[in-house]
Structures are given as C-alpha cells and as structure tokens.
C-alpha cells in the first residue's frame, strides 16, 4: 500500500514537500514560469474566478468536490490564480512590520493557500485514480512549478526568520500544547527543506527540488505506461485450467481495453491470481517476467536513468543540508532516527524469515518432484505451487473461500469494527458527485448523530488508475474553521460482470481493512490545526493505524458474522474458518523475504556514494546476494517500478517503515488480547485518543506510549509471523 497524503494547508504541504510523497512534493514545471504568473491578464483572472468551479465556493453536501462541473481545462487557469494568491498571502506574512506572534505568523500560514490546497487535492487524486493524456500533460507541467512554488516559501528568509523567532522563544510564549507543537513541527520542516541555506546553495536547493518533482512524475508515468501496454491473451484452452473468477476478470479486462476475448494484465489483482492458479508453466513465466520487468524494458518507458538522476539529486540535496546521505536525512525525521536502526530491525527479522522461506522452498520442490517433473524451482513456480501446498496442507480451495468474501459484506465489516471501537456509524449517500461511476460515498456520523466526515470508496481496477491500494483525501480535518475531513480509499479489485457479486480473497479483504485504517486515521482526526491533522505523522508511524486495523478481520467474531456465502447467506463453516486461521502464518517466509529484499535495496540505494554510475540490475543482484536471498524470491517491487521509492519521497529510504509499523501493530493489538476483549472500551479509547484522533499533536513514540503504556517490543511481530522460535 502507498498512503497518499495531502496536507491540510498549502503552507504545510510546502513545508513538508521535501519529505512527503510524490503527490505532495511533485507537482511539476520550471521556476521561471512559476515566478512570472503574476503577469496573467487581470480580465482573464477575473473571468476565471467567476466561471471556474475550482475557484468558486462549492454548493454541495459538506463542500464535496463538484465533479459534474470540473473539467480538465479548468486546472491550469485555476492554478494560475491560486498560485498568485498564495504568493501574495505569504509575502504579506513575511513582510508584516509587526513582531512575529503565533497568530500573525503560524496561524496566518495555516489559513493561507486555501484555493491552492483544494485544487491540488482534487487534481492529484485524479492523476492517481482517473488519469488520461490531458491530466498527465498537466501533471508534467505543474509538478515542477508547484515544487518551485514550495521552495520559494520554505526558502523565504524573512518568513523563516519569523518562524525561528517564535521557535527560539517557545518557553517564553503562552501557547497551548498544540500551538507549541505546530511551531516545532513547522520549524523542523522548514529547516529540513533548506530554510537555513544561503546564497548559491539556496538557489541550487530550489532547483534540485523542482528537478526531482519532474523526475517523480516521469517515473510514475513510465511505470503506468509500461504496465498498461502489456496484456497476455488467453485461448479457450488456456481458460479451461483457470478458476471461474479469473476467467470473468480476464473477460472484463479485455472489455475495458476494447478487446475481444480474455486477457491477463499487469494489475496485481489480475497477474497474481493467474500466477497462483495457471497450470501453464510457459505462460506463468511470460507473465512473471513481464510483471517483474515493468519500467526496465528496451523502450521509452525505461526508468533506469531516471533512478540514477533521482538518487544523485537526492544525495546532493542531503549533503547540502549537512547529512552524510539521503538515508540519514530521511530517517532523521522518523521514529527510527538513523539508517542503522532501520537496518538493524530488518536484520533482526531477516534471518528467521530466510530460514522459513528455505523450508517453504523445500516443500515446493517436493511437490514438483511428486508431480514427476524435473525442473528447478523458479520465481514463476512459487505462487502456483504455494497455492497447491496451502490447499493440500489446510484443505483450502481459494475459489471456495472467495464465496464467503463478498466485497459489500467486507465493507460492512470494516464499518462495523469502527462502530464497535470508536462509536461512529456510516450512511451511504447516492446524491454526491464522484469522478467515476464506480466510486461510492458514505457519511460518517458520531454517537450524537452528527456528520463528522465523508468517506469515498473506489475499489475496482481500470485503465487510467495506478496499481496498488492507497488512502488520500479531498480535504483534511480543520480545527480552525470546523471543516470535516473528506477521505478516499482506492483499491484495485477485479470488477465483476453486471449482476455478479464482487468476490475477493482473504488477502484482498485484509487490504481493504488496511486502507480503511488509514481512512479512519484521517476521518477521526481531531486536532486544532490542519497541518497536524490525520496522517501528517512520521513516515514510520503512519502505517501503524492501518496495520493494527487489519487484525480485526482475522478475528473469528468478525468472520463468523460477515464472511457469509454470497448465495446462501450461510456463515463460513467453522472448520473452514479454523483452517483459514491456521494458514495465517503460511508462506510468511516468502512474503517477509520478498518485502525485506525491497527494504534492503531501498536503503542501499540511498546510502550509495556514487549513484550516477549505478547499473540498476547489477546493484539489485549484489544487494540481494549479500543477504544470501533465495534466487526464486525477487524484490516485492523491483527498482524500475518501485513507486514507493521513486515516484516521490514518501517511502524513499523508508520502505522499512512497514516492518517498523509491524512491530507497533502486533505489539499494539496484544493490548486488546491481554484485555480479553477485541473491543475492550478502555483500550479502544486509548487507541482513539493517542493515535487515531491525535494526528501529529505529539511525537510518534509519545503517542504510542500514550496508547500502550510502554514502548513497543519486537516479540509480538515474530510470534505473529510464526518466527517465535527465533526470538531471543
């Protein structure tokens, strides 16, 4: 999963651009163009303000985006007006002749750039969820321009002087705890964005940020183009060996592309089930190689040089700020604190995970031999034989299991858990405009029946939508003006044929719960200032609310209630449920090694001293060989399609954070099991108060301790993955 964060105010987005994901930091074009937009014709600007829906008040339920009125042609004119307005607001704050106060500096910054924030939230959600050639062209133009605009603010010497004055006087000011926290966070973010640089370094830093923004857009668009260009046509003979749900999805994928017949695509929801179930080894190899080579093919979408440029610029950026490497820079703003601490955590899990993966490989090799085959185990065999070993060992048929996991029931389950834990309920609205017919919208109500959030669910794969699953927002919670949050979850499940139910795997259902955990982190936010709201927390803490929420799906109490047969309504049989839970740690060696392969390579890239000369495939191979990684298990995300790391800075030198959060979520959920009730009211209240509603109102470790009563311990993670024997 990649969490897509849009910060609560334009100023906060700018201050955090250097350490945010692509959708924040990117936003592309050149500095000169950005700085000359004040010349926009006054009459044209006035007309745009009247006719452009992005620049007018939204007379919609809860101020939701009026997608029935917004067109691609509205974005560039709206950006021109919003950029000019925000520049004027920032200049007024920076040059205010009055001595800096919290109100005339920090609060004024929080309120500035409202139009720019609103436009960007809508636009960058569309670049991920409903892109097309026109949107991609606008993204290529605007990403560097927005990065340049961001730099012009964080590198504004007068503005930073006011922030620093407040920061240096914190103990003398009569501030609330959140006001003090906002000063501290803003000062840290400006410093990390180069505010203390001078002269040529200041100018070069701004140039680097703009260049990186363009490269992030280029990387993501190359990956999407390579992924969407590939299909594997299936004959009637090929279809005969596949489960019905894959046949149906393959027909839908062909129809979406205006093709006849059936095709497998490189959407994870298409290719992974095919690799798990297709008896045609030759076709599995073709699909596996295509899946792993996205962005590294001999065509215009090759990302190797883009990676080298990104790494070189990041290292230069970190060095200018006084850091040894970009890895030191990135981890310096997280719970881990240093690359060594992040690597040490990965090392602690690596060796028991590798040992388990080798045991899993031996099981697969035995099955290959039992089938009378003499070929070696390869990457394209692992998922296929693993599914057979799993079915044999736990007597689980994936098609049969899916019959009990209807998407609508799983959505109902995620809402039910939120109600039991946090007292909120959800009411679907069909009168709110969306950007695609598949998108659904719900109100979130508190215990008093007040609407306190709006939630969008976009669950199906389609052309123009990037792969994976993520959470983002159209509006963050704003304690200043009372705006409720508007949050969206994106997944990429296969859309069923008309009239057919959407059946998902248990893994898909876990992803649904994961993203809704992120969604609740935004929806339940209750902070005084938008820059501290929701998911605006340390990168290696942001996954904690999502990953702990997954645990509720695994509880028999939830599955017995919501995992019901889509035709009969009968609950999942007790013996099947028992076998499903017993299979929970199955193949964890593979899954953990696959993840850690990407984590080690990500960190190694950002510690490398000469990234400009890297040979990408050789560097990957050497890093994995140094860990004695099994050859059949590649990186979960190979470099040339590693969106987490190279489509932005959100998870760069930070992919390890999923494992870090794994320590938090397994240790954290044990608080509920220790209480003897997965909905224990006191534990749930502590989780709400310290985590889900608190945003970035205190340091992440303080927030965790506030919930758990102590710092996290790694033992729970090892037990959860079946590695308990390695503990100690």
H/E element, 487:
strand 486-493
Question: Pick from 462, 533, 467, 543: which is nearest to 495 by CA?
Answer: 462
Question: Pick from 24, 137, 6, 8: which is nearest to 73 by CA?
Answer: 137
Cα gap 2→666, rounded to integer Å? 20
Cα gap 350→173, rounded to integer Å? 48
**Strand residue runs (E) in 164-267:** 231-234, 262-265
Question: Pick from 644, 549, 632, 675: which is nearest to 360 by CA?
Answer: 632
Q: Which residues contact 216 (CB under 8 A, 6 or more apart)?
A: 22, 25, 26, 143, 310, 646, 647, 648, 649
Up-side HSE of residue 58: CA atoms within 13 Å toward CB?
Answer: 22
Task: Write out 657-672 in H/E/C secondary structure.
Answer: HHHHHHHHHHHHHHHH
Cα gap 620→639, rounded to integer Å? 8
Up-side HSE of residue 356: CA atoms within 13 Å toward CB?
Answer: 22
Q: Are the C-beta atoms of 40 and 561 separated by less than 8 Å?
A: no
Q: Which residues contact 5 (CB under 8 A, 6 or more apart)?
A: 20, 21, 23, 24, 472, 473, 535, 536, 542, 650
**Strand residue runs (E) in 74-181:** none
Cα gap 326→212, rounded to integer Å? 13
493 beta partners: 460
176-195 burial code (b ≥16 CB/10 A, e <16): eebbbbbbebbbbbbbbbbb
**Strand residue runs (E) in 585-704:** none
Q: Which residues contact 140 (CB under 8 A, 6 or more apart)?
A: 28, 29, 214, 217, 218, 221
Answer yes or no: 515 catalytic: yes
Q: Are the C-beta atoms of 540 and 334 separated by less than 8 Å?
A: yes
691 beta partners: none
460 beta partners: 493
Catalytic residue among 515, 543, 550, 649: 515
Pull the structure tokens for residue 478.
Answer: 């704003």
Question: Pick from 442, 419, 420: which is nearest to 431 by CA?
Answer: 442
Looking at the annotation, which residues are catalytic? 515
């Amino acid at each position: 999963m990649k969490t897509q964060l849009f910060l609560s105010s334009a100023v906060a987005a700018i201050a955090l651009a250097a350490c945010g994901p692509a959708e924040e930091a990117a936003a592309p074009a050149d500095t000169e163009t950005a700085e000359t937009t004040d010349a926009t014709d006054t009459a044209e600007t006035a007309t745009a303000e009247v006719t452009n829906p992005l620049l007018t008040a939204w007379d919609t339920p809860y101020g939701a985006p009026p997608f029935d009125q917004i067109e691609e042609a509205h974005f560039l004119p709206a950006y021109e007006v919003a950029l000019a307005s925000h520049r004027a607001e920032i200049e007024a704050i920076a040059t205010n002749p009055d001595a800096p106060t919290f109100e005339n500096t920090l609060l004024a910054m929080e309120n500035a750039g409202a139009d720019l924030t609103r436009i960007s939230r809508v636009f960058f959600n569309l670049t991920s969820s409903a892109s097309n050639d026109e949107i991609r062209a606008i993204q290529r133009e605007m990403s560097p321009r927005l990065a340049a605009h961001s730099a012009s603010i964080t590198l504004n010497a007068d503005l930073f002087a006011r922030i620093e004055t407040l920061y240096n006087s914190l103990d003398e000011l009569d501030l609330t705890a959140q006001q003090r926290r906002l000063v501290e966070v803003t000062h840290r973010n400006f410093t990390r964005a180069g505010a203390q640089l001078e002269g040529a370094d200041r100018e070069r830093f701004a140039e680097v940020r703009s260049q990186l923004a363009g490269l992030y857009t280029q990387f993501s668009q190359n990956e999407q183009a390579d992924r969407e260009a590939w299909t594997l046509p299936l004959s009637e003979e090929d279809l005969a060996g596949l489960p019905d749900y894959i046949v149906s999805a393959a027909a839908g994928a062909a129809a979406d592309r205006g093709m006849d017949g059936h095709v497998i695509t490189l959407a994870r929801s298409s290719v992974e089930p095919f690799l798990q179930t297709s008896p045609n080894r030759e076709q599995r190899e073709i699909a596996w190689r295509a899946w792993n080579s996205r962005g590294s093919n001999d065509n215009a979408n090759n990302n190797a040089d883009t990676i080298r440029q990104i790494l070189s610029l990041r290292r230069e950026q970190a060095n200018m700020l006084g850091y040894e490497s970009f890895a030191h820079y990135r981890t310096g703003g997280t719970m881990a604190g240093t690359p060594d601490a992040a690597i040490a955590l990965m090392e602690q899990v690596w060796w028991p995970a590798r040992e388990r993966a080798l045991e899993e490989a031996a099981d697969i090799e035995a099955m290959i031999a039992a089938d009378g085959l003499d070929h070696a185990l390869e990457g394209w065999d692992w998922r296929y034989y693993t599914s057979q070993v799993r079915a044999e060992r736990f007597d689980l048929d994936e098609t049969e299991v899916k019959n009990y996991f209807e998407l609508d029931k799983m959505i109902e389950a995620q809402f039910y858990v939120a109600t039991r834990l946090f007292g909120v309920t959800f009411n679907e609205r069909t009168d709110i405009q969306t950007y695609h017919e598949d998108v659904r919208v719900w109100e979130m109500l508190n215990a008093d029946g007040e609407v306190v959030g709006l939630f969008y669910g976009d669950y199906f794969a389609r052309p123009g939508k990037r792969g994976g699953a993520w959470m983002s927002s159209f509006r963050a919670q704003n304690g200043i003006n009372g705006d409720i949050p508007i949050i969206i979850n994106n997944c990429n499940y296969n859309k069923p044929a008309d009239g057919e139910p959407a059946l998902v795997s248990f893994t898909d259902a876990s992803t649904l719960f994961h993203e809704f955990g992120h969604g609740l982190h935004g929806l339940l936010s209750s902070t005084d200032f938008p820059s501290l709201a929701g998911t605006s927390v340390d990168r290696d803490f942001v996954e904690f609310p999502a990953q702990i929420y997954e645990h509720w799906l695994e509880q028999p109490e939830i599955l017995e209630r919501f995992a019901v047969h889509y035709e009969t309504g009968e609950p999942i049989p007790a013996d099947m449920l028992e076998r499903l839970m017993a299979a929970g740690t199955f193949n964890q060696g593979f899954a953990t090694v696959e993840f850690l392969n990407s984590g080690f390579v990500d960190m190694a890239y950002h510690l490398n001293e000469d990234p400009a000369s890297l040979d990408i495939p050789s560097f990957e191979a050497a890093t994995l060989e140094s860990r004695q990684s099994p050859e059949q298990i590649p990186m979960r995300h190979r470099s040339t399609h590693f969106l987490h790391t190279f489509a932005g800075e959100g998870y760069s030198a930070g992919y390890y954070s999923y494992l870090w959060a794994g320590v938090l979520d397994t240790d954290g959920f044990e608080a509920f099991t220790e209480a003897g009730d997965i909905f224990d009211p006191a534990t749930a209240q502590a989780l709400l108060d310290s985590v889900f509603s608190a945003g970035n109102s205190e340091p992440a470790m303080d927030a965790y301790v506030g919930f758990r009563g102590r710092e996290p311990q790694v033992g729970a993670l090892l037990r959860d993955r079946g590695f308990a024997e390695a503990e100690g």
